[in-house]
Amino acid sequence: MTQPASAYFIEERHDPNETHTLSVLVQNEPGVLARVIGLFSGRGYNIESLTVSETEAQKHVSRITIVTTGTPMVIQQIKNQLDRMVPVYRVVDQTLTGRSIERELAMVKLRGVGDARVESLRLAEAFRARVIDASTESFVFEITGGPTKINQFIELMRPLGLVEVVRTGVAAITRGPEGM
Amino acid sequence: MTETKSHDANQMTGAAMIVRALIDHGVEHLFGYPGGSVLPIYDEIFQQDQLQHILVRHEQGAGHAAEGYARSTGKPGVVLVTSGPGATNMVTPLADALMDSIPLVCITGQVPTHLIGNDAFQECDTVGITRPCTKHNWLVRDIKDLARVLHEAFYVATSGRPGPVVVDVPKDVQFAVGTYHPPRRTDVHISYTPQVKGDPVAIRKAVSMLAGAKRPVIYSGGGVVNSGDEACRLLRELVEVTDFPITSTLMGLGAYPASGKNWLGMLGMHGTYEANMTMHDCDVMLCIGARFDDRITGRTDAFSPNSKKIHIDIDPSSINKNIRVDVPIIGDVANVLGDILTVFKAEAKKPDIKPWWQQVATWRARNSLAYKKNSELIMPQYAIQRLYEATRGRDTYITTEVGQHQMWAAQFYGFEQPHRWMTSGGLGTMGYGLPAALGVQVAHRDSLVIDIAGDASVQMTMQEMATAVQYELPIKIFILNNQYMGMVRQWQQLLHGNRLSHSYTEAMPDFVKLAEAYGGVGMQVIKPGDLDGAIAEMIKVKKPVLFDCRVASLENCFPMIPSGKAHNEMLLPSEATDEATAAAFAGGKALV
């Protein structure tokens, strides 16, 4: 039996999901991150990645970069909900600007000896990953780049003795002379 | 410390600062309940007489009283409660105020800073718990921040879309001495600057759509009331200038007078047939300070399918949340309506909508609020009608609890002015009405304040009768007593095969004796013929009254849009035969 629609059970609009990167400038007061995260969990939005750090210490301003997915209507709603929060100065949809640079840093640990070890070094070089720790049976690589590049690197490392990965999440900035 | 400094009038303890700040913000009354973590503040309250403190019997009562106070005055309501259970008992009123955009400033005590996080006695993470149910909240760890935060709190609660805020003050900060400064312009929160003025391009576009409309409707909401008296005046002027039909949400009743000739009645799930059909068939919809709530829209994909929609709201997140609109205008209602009227009067003329009004007249003729009269039993609708007749023309304020009685009050009581109607719309809080009536009566000592209640709801906050007696607040609790949780029973009957699971109140208190036990007046009416006389007597009594009005117990609230149906699929009382009802509600069980 088909259920009729009600706003409580809003019919899945079959708009395709999009991934957007949002930059959020906030007043760095206690609990501000909890507020932002609480908004996402409370309203059922997705967080793919989230990075936050104080960027202007004197003005107590922090910048949060959030990668989220949703239909265009949900993405718009997320931006509006963020924008109306009291400690939020501004929200910029980096994906909509179409001119954003996105970078992420990952540290990738490998364990292995012999050919796999040599192969991992060769691949690291091709990806411009640096060795930041080494022992006779392990490496830790540091790699920066867009999420796709990092995903690709990790996949290549997997058969070569991948132990663990840590990623910072995406940081994004707009090209050109203007700030946010 | 130097001699001059110790005599500085602005040097004071945190507790004194709180009292001083409230006075500086024009607060005359606060609602609260003392406890360990707010004793320093209560000590300051004791030693002054500018602020009157109203002692409630449960913190939830304080919260709803402050909501009633705020809603009836347009000023923020102020609450003072202690840490731990005091704060958690405030959660319901805070959530209620957030949903209905009511400005509240709630000050909570907190354990001393060095004990925070230690699971101290009566400790809870107040800012954590209240974060999702406030517009904003603060934990003040340093006396140096206290004055600024208090002033910010009033700014945030009252500006933009109003809402509740919490200021959590640890006990050691209340004792600490610091420098107070009075409110100043810079105490606005620097990152919070809501947009008040509407975009002129959008306004021009809206005016041309209005002027070109053939089947227009104005759909107004609580935002008009919140914006203030000027917004309500402008709304009335706009209706006058355009001659458009107007309907309103539950929260917006009174912004346009119920006696106005363009009034269609309330819309939505229990709105009138004419209001919902007008919404469904219109070609231009002007939504003013309302948010396309699910109780309004019904089935979203069949909501007003052929109209262009203009939406005025101060909160950008209300735009395109449930319903996609064509012309969003972000701004304060009074400001935007002022601009719309100026442009309309200068550049447009009122469209000819005579055929549309003829169509509306045919819908009106369906008389969707009709009910079967009964000479033996008091029909609940009849009780509201008689109450309305007895109190119209008086200086009356109405609050309600939540359920069937609330919908009947909205349908049958005519509101002529804004700020006269206090109800829990968004959260639907049973137990709201009695304490809210207290708050209203505190603000309007000489007015007639009536809580139209249900027998189940009213028992949720009945303890506040003691508060009413203590402060000689002659509130009238008009209970439509059908001995059921009427709306629950109605849904069980319509959707759950009439299995009335736990919706019958088996042990009903004797409301007359209960009133007397509290020191109030109890009355009971069973026969329709006795109703008018009893209502007149109730109004005359200068004491709190519990009025036990026994009504037909199985009456249902119609008309009704079943959940998940469209506006033009309303079930009218005359058509609500068992078969029609069963068909209308088929498959809707899972919906709210």
Tell me which H or E stretch contains B338: helix B333-347
Contact criterion met (CB below 8 Å) for B56 and B467: yes
The pLDDT tens digits of the residues spanning B203-234 come to 999 999 999 999 999 999 999 999 999 999 99
Peptide bond preceding B316 in cis form (omega within 30 of 0): no
| Nearest CA-CA distance, residue B564 and chain A, Å | 4
> What tokens does A24 get?
């959020």
The pLDDT tens digits of the residues spanning B22-75 come to 999 999 999 999 999 999 999 999 999 999 999 999 999 999 999 999 999 999
User: What residues contact B180, with CB distance under 8 A and at least 6 apart?
Assistant: B10, B11, B12, B16, B17, B20, B21, B147
CA distance B186 to B147: 12
- Between A13 and A146, name the one with better pLDDT: A146
CA distance B53 to B245: 44
Tell me which residue of B249, B159, B204 sits closest to B344, measured CA to CA.
B204
The pLDDT tens digits of the residues spanning A62-114 come to 999 999 999 999 999 999 999 999 999 999 999 999 999 999 999 999 999 99
CA distance B73 to B69: 6
Of A6, A30, A38, the CB nearest to B294: A6
Of B194, B294, B587, the CB nearest to A3: B587
Query: Which of B191, B319, B322 is the best substitution to test chain A (most A C-beta atoms within 10 A)?
Result: B191
Of B132, B315, B591, the CB nearest to A6: B591
Contact criterion met (CB below 8 Å) for A50 and A64: yes
Fold classification of A18-97 (topology level) = Alpha-Beta Plaits (3.30.70)
Contact criterion met (CB below 8 Å) for B387 and B450: yes
User: What residues contact B432, with CB distance under 8 A and at least 6 apart?
Assistant: B64, B67, B96, B399, B400, B401, B402, B423, B424, B457, B461
The pLDDT tens digits of the residues spanning B447-504 come to 999 999 999 999 999 999 999 999 999 999 999 999 999 999 999 998 899 999 999 8
CA distance B413 to B451: 12
Tell me which residue of A21, A104, A18 sits closest to A67, measured CA to CA.
A21
Would the CB atoms of A27 and B190 count as touching at under 8 Å? Answer: yes
Please name the residue of chain A whose CA is at the shortest distance from the CA of residue B316. Answer: A80
The ipTM estimated for the assembled molecules is 0.85
Contacts of B564 in chain A (CB under 8 A): 3-6, 9
Which amino acid is present at B102?
I
| Nearest CA-CA distance, residue A76 and chain B, Å | 8
CA distance B397 to B421: 6
CA distance B246 to B258: 10
Please name the residue of chain B whose CA is at the shortest distance from the CA of residue A41. Answer: B132
The pLDDT tens digits of the residues spanning B405-426 come to 999 999 999 999 999 999 999 9
CA distance A65 to A103: 11
| Nearest CA-CA distance, residue A106 and chain B, Å | 32
CA distance B398 to B262: 23
Q: How many CA atoms lie within 13 A of B45 on its CB side?
A: 22
Would the CB atoms of B300 and A6 count as touching at under 8 Å? Answer: yes
**For residues B117-155, b (16+ Cβ closer than 10 Å) or e, as one string?**
eeebebbbebbebbbbbbbbbbbbbebeebbbbbbbbbb
Kindly give the pairing relationship between strand A49-56 and strand A61-70.
Answer: antiparallel
Per DSSP, the three-state class of B571 is strand
Kindly give the pairing relationship between strand A162-167 and strand A100-111.
Answer: antiparallel
* pLDDT(B585) > 80: no
CA distance B31 to B25: 16
Contacts of A31 in chain B (CB under 8 A): 127-128, 131, 139
Mean of the pLDDT values across residues B257-285? 97
> How many cross-chain Cβ pairs, A to B, lie less than 8 Å apart?
90
Q: How many CA atoms lie within 13 A of A2 on its CB side?
A: 4
DSSP per residue, A94-112: HHHHT-EEEEEEEEEEEE-
Per-chain mean pLDDT for chain A? 91
- pLDDT score recorded for residue B591: 73
Classify residue B426 by its DSSP letter.
S
The pLDDT tens digits of the residues spanning B166-215 come to 999 999 999 999 999 999 877 677 789 999 999 999 999 999 999 999 99
Please name the residue of chain A whose CA is at the shortest distance from the CA of residue B188. Answer: A86
What residues of A are in the B interface, CB distance below 8 Å?
Answer: 1-11, 26-27, 30-31, 34-35, 38, 42, 73, 76-77, 80-81, 83-89
- What length does chain A have? 180
Q: Kindly give the residue spans of alpha helices, DSSP state H, lying in B39-170.
A: 39-46, 59-73, 85-88, 91-100, 126-130, 143-158
- pLDDT score recorded for residue A45: 94
The pLDDT tens digits of the residues spanning B501-553 come to 999 878 899 999 999 999 999 999 999 999 999 999 999 999 999 999 999 99
Classify residue B113 by its DSSP letter.
G
Catalytic residues of B: 59, 121-122, 171, 487
* pLDDT(A13) > 70: no
User: What residues contact B579, with CB distance under 8 A and at least 6 apart?
Assistant: none
Between the two ends of chain A, the Cα-to-Cα distance in Å is 50
Contact criterion met (CB below 8 Å) for B105 and B21: no
> What tokens does A7 get?
């706003």
Contact criterion met (CB below 8 Å) for B522 and B545: yes
Fold classification of A101-173 (topology level) = Alpha-Beta Plaits (3.30.70)
The pLDDT tens digits of the residues spanning B311-325 come to 999 999 999 999 999
Which amino acid is present at B162?
P
Contact criterion met (CB below 8 Å) for B558 and B573: yes
Would the CB atoms of B300 and A10 count as touching at under 8 Å? Answer: yes
The domain segmentation of chain A, as residue ranges, is: 18-97, 101-173
- pLDDT score recorded for residue B357: 98
Per-chain mean pLDDT for chain B? 95
| Nearest CA-CA distance, residue B298 and chain A, Å | 6
Share of chain A above pLDDT 70, in %: 92
- Establish whether domains A18-97 and A101-173 are of one fold: yes
- pLDDT score recorded for residue A12: 52
CA distance B87 to B60: 9
Of A8, A81, A87, the CB nearest to B191: A87
Contact criterion met (CB below 8 Å) for B178 and B146: yes
Of B161, B301, B324, the CB nearest to A5: B301
Would the CB atoms of A5 and B191 count as touching at under 8 Å? Answer: no
Tell me which residue of B143, B333, B155, B135 sits closest to B233, measured CA to CA.
B333
> What tokens does B117 get?
């996080």
